[in-house]
Amino acid sequence: LFWNRRYGPAALADGAIIADLAPAGVVVSESLAGFLFEPSSLARDGRPLQVFSAFRRRAASLPPPSPPQARPNALPPPVEGLEGETLDQFGLLPRGQDWTTGLAAAWAPGEAGAHRRLQAFLDGELRHYEVQRDRPALASTSQLSPHLRFGEISPHRVLAEASRAEASGGAGKFAAELNWREFAWHVFAHRPDLATRNLRSEFDSFPWQEADPSTLRAWRRGMTGYPVVDAGMRQLWRTGWMHNRARMICASFLTKHLLIDWRIGEAWFWDTLVDADPANNPFNWQWVAGSGFDAQPYFRIFNPVLQGERFDPDGTYVRAWVPELARLPARFVHSPWKAPPMILAAAGIRLGETYPEPIVDHASARRRALAAFAATRDGRSAPPGGMSG
């Protein structure tokens, strides 16, 4: 038997299958697929590296990843007498209401679609990648993550093609982002409980708040009253994808403004992202929450207004996904509650009716989060603290 090596809990299941087949003389050959480096390698004393820069240095010391193989001219004939199954037999098509319209419009699944997407990126966005990759309104990222996740294109192919386009600029930074993907899988190969347990044990005592259903619903539906958060969450629901900067803002808002456990957010992203995988999704959530390896400092709490003003200065991203605010001037589009009544009326906005008031006050939420993180760090109980909307 031949199959691609899996990691995490799936690796344990595969090991059991191998053990069951051995008495019958069946040998299993596993291959590395979907990664530049074997995820379980690069460890130190059997433990995963915990800092990305150390991982990248270790990877750079290895022989370069092998180039992609040429497409075969022919495939060997199937084994005689071996019956196959059709896709219809798996019952994969949705039943009932079809909610995939937005996904179908946004993506072209399959190998051909993946290669078209790569070529479009190399011909256009790559040259601006380093300076524009944090602008969610711009088509400045590769959007290859779903194709990589489902094996529709190899990272070897992506890296090789990007390296050949190095003269256009941006390839170095793009390669670093591919290494972050490798780092997440490296951690997952050693920590199969990545989606359920904090990598940093001190967060086991963090005082997460019970997730109020209405508050959680507002976050999921993009109705928090913070336009850049709402734009990201609506983009996610409509297309199954969200720009990386928006992912960080939305995840930070849930874990630090609302103090809702990162695992709840991770589960929602797992259900809604077309590129969610068992390594990157929980790794990135733990990175934002502060409980992961090489995580952002606990005291770094994104201000959603300032994040919007910095990375979506003219409000193009917000207007695309939060059309209620489309007629609002740019200086108020990330903080509509600051707009004078006449401006709101001219834009057709009635706060609390056509668009929600903020569900939480940023300054109050920041103070409460800092107190909770400091108490966790010092081994104390966090003081209670309410927040006004």
Active-site annotation holder among 30, 38, 130, 177: 177
Amino acid at 243: H
Name the catalytic one among 30, 38, 130, 208.
Answer: 208
User: Among residues 107, 219, 285, 287, which one is catalytic?
Assistant: 285
Tokens of 259: 């103090």
Write down the catalytic residue from 30, 38, 202, 244.
244
Catalytic residue among 30, 38, 130, 180: 180
Active site residue 185: no
262 catalytic, yes or no?
A: yes
Query: Is 208 annotated in the active site?
Result: yes
* Active-site position among 219, 262, 268, 287: 262
Q: Please say if 198 is a catalytic residue.
A: no
Catalytic residue positions, numbered: 177, 180, 208, 244, 262, 285
